[in-house]
Structure 1
């Protein structure tokens, strides 16, 4: 247990793992922690592995922006340096160091981020929107005639990765292989290690091919960027940008659709044109950001922070959902005003998500297309029967069963190309 927590019995850390931690229970847990400890609370992220959960909006901004006091490099984690984290600990899959922008500070981070940002900026937004719309219509066509669907596995989980494979310049066969490997890696089951190896093999082959014959795709831009990333750096940054970003985009689509289908005010307001889909997207980011709690920063010095004594090498988690609900910044009534994008769903500071604009474009187009094609979409179960995936990191909707109604705006077979 961290030294600060050992010396102060009142700071008993609360487990941030285990059964029952999902989108329905975590908000209440954040408020209990805030009431007991203030904006920075002691938690356990695995048995015997303590950390600090930053729940204050102002404190989280400081944590994300202050690179002199807090590092993104897990090699600064004291427990890891002291050999107190078992190699098979579930947290290692999230915080194990890799040569990627997510785990770098200062000059190294800026070097890698410059190349990734350049590649993201070269993505043609109009072409991406067309790609997302076409992919969405193909998916809708696969279930439209059945009258019922589950929008999580049938739509939200399938769309982002299909779009990503096209951004990488892959043909359909290679794209499917990448999708299956990425899904297997994220599944966190017995085959995940094999899936991760397959994923690395596919991406390594793509990098070698682009070295030999660069084009205008995302990988080619990384290959020839002046930052001169190594093949290993390109590999791990691809995993961070695309694979790690896939699940949050899936969750953003699913959560927005869930809110639209269950909120008695928001859904009709969007359907009636009084609010936009972007308004719904922002409501989802405030209420249930795709990532609730984000590992991690590591204290580089002794300091008092958020009312707590933080020691050099302590781990601090970015409590994005808890900070969004901070009473110091949330408007009266608990709901953000329309058009307010000051939420922390994408982080802040030098490590704020570089792909957030593309993620919004993908999510907005996915939701707009579904609502346009299936305007009579309705839940197929009572709202109280909907469940969340149990996770302290990304508690996303587990399922979203719906009745479809007629498909609007298309002739017979138009979605499926028949």
Structure 2
């Protein structure tokens, strides 16, 4: 039977499934026995019990009188905020460093190469401690904070004015939505016009002007229904305004600067993968070097850049769990506190796994869609 190829494959798969089933059942049995010996009751009822602990940084209202589910939600939002800010900053910085790496300017190219080599080879956790312990925490106290333009930087974080919107504030998002709709229409029209006539329409500056000017114009017509609450220094921190705690700033800086080095290498590889004749043809047609890079080289390089870029986005999101090392209340840190209070380790770990799995799959799905739109289409 084993020599029969029609039977050998199904038999091997059946044996593998049997082995996995036995392994999972053994793990489940040991888990149940260990929980019973420690008098730990499994289940999700603990989520609705009072948390009883405070969280130092929260994007939504939270107090220790609320339940564990609310605490986990606060941790999730903190993780998302760090990941999104880190991805945006890492993408912009990585693109700039990657282009600088191929610059004809000797100093710019060597500085970019030095940045890439140093940042890629220094562990992320060490960089996190450097930003937190050596850069942000030694800043002046609140009373001696560095102030400019209504903002203040101290060892308690960055305090910025907080907007307080009144009636008519809907005009700002309404104007932004109108500007985005006009931009999409202009994009389709400019693409059709360029195909028909070959004339290039300056879509980027026009779109930037629409997105900035139109919402402000709608907001002005509504009477500027906004007031700013400026931070005021107190004995133990700032009153009023909004404060970015040093843990958040250190984590975003470390994640973005570290990941940008890997993104820069992906950008460099993507640009070098484009045939040199493409840029030479653009110069022969009269394109400025910056315009040739933006319109000719980078769109073709994106087909090579996007797959490794996806991996770096996933790594940055998962590396945000290092926040526990500096006390930033992300999902892992908040869940660790809950485990210490309730002993519901299995449930909290399952929440961790589910959240990071969902975020990774969502990021991968978006980047795969983006990759599909940028792939080479053959006739």
Relative to total residues, which structure has the larger helix share, 1 or 2? 2
With the shorter chain as reference, the TM-score category is under 0.3
> RCO greater where, 1 or 2, for CA within 8 Å and sep 6 or more?
1
TM-score computed with the length of structure 1 as normaliser: 0.20
TM-score computed with the length of structure 2 as normaliser: 0.22
The structure that has the greater radius of gyration is 2
